[in-house]
């Protein structure tokens, strides 16, 4: 968190730098089955943040000695494209990317029935195409969709959003300038229908009352994103189901 913002981030009438209300998500776009060579894939946009995910598996794990006899191994690779930020980044994995790969895996694991796929791996490749804040949350949301698209058995989808504290006010779905110049950042991921949190982190400082309010705001945001996820899957699979049912009835 930086100490001072270049401009006022919240106007006197409660509008943020991009015109949103404090409790308003950015424009959300989701699409599944975007990559034909992957078993499952998804593309998700939170405003200007754009993430693409490819899932391969469950498939035989190599080297075989790493395989677990009772469940699948979920492996995640989070990577920011060199052109995803204003100043070109090195294509080599950074410490932050390695850390977020672990964080995202741990956020997704509770949702996956790994015990159904012993001695296999499920590989999740995440590419951030454009970064404008909340990339880990967009990545978790997109990875969950891609796993569902791959037909991986899941307890529920995982939706994620970040709440920040900016100029003393709590804001939903943090964008880059708010993340850089805000006082706190609270990413939350959850399985909404299970009311189960799979990730909660915090950077900065919040009072206990602020934390409770921020968490409740994050839950509200996750439920809204969950609706977008279900609609993206419905939009993709409904025509295929209708086609299958039509073929069965005609036969």
Q: What are the chain's domains?
A: 28-241 (3.30.230.70)
Tell me the pLDDT tens digit for each residue of 44-65.
Answer: 999 999 999 999 999 999 888 9
Q: Which residues pair with 76 in a beta bridge?
A: 124
Under DSSP, the state recorded for 132 is S
Instruction: Point out the least confidently predicted range of 198-207, 220-229, 233-242.
Output: 233-242
Tell me the pLDDT tens digit for each residue of 108-143.
Answer: 999 999 999 999 999 999 999 999 999 999 999 999
Is residue 173 within 8 A of residue 228, CB to CB? The reply is no
Q: List all residues 6 or more positions away from 241 whose beta carbon is below 8 Å from its beta carbon.
A: none
Q: What is the pLDDT of residue 160?
A: 98
Tell me the pLDDT tens digit for each residue of 165-224.
Answer: 999 999 999 999 999 999 999 999 999 999 999 999 999 999 999 999 999 999 999 999
């Amino acid at each position: 968190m930086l100490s001072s913002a270049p401009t006022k981030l919240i106007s006197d009438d409660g509008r943020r730098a991009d015109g949103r209300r404090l409790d308003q998500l950015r424009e959300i776009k989701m699409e599944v089955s975007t990559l034909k060579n992957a078993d499952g894939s998804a593309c998700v946009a939170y405003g200007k943040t754009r993430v693409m995910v490819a899932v391969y598996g469950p498939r035989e794990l190599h080297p075989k000695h790493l395989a677990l006899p009772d469940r699948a191994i979920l492996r995640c690779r989070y990577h920011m494209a060199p052109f995803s930020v204003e100043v070109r980044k090195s294509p080599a994995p950074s410490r932050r990317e390695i850390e977020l790969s672990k964080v995202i895996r741990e956020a997704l694991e509770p949702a996956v029935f790994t015990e159904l796929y012993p001695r296999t791996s499920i590989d999740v490749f995440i590419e951030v195409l454009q970064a404008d804040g909340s990339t880990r949350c967009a990545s978790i949301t997109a990875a969950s969709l891609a796993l569902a698209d791959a037909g991986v058995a899941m307890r529920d989808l995982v939706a994620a959003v970040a709440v920040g504290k900016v100029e003393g006010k709590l804001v939903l779905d943090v964008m880059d300038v708010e993340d850089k110049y805000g006082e706190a950042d609270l990413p939350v991921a959850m399985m909404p229908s299970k009311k189960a949190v799979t990730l909660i982190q915090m950077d900065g400082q919040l009072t206990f009352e602020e934390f409770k309010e921020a968490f409740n705001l994050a839950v509200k945001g996750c439920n809204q994103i969950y609706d977008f996820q279900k609609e993206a899957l419905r939009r993709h699979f409904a025509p295929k189901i209708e086609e299958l049912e039509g073929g069965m009835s005609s036969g």
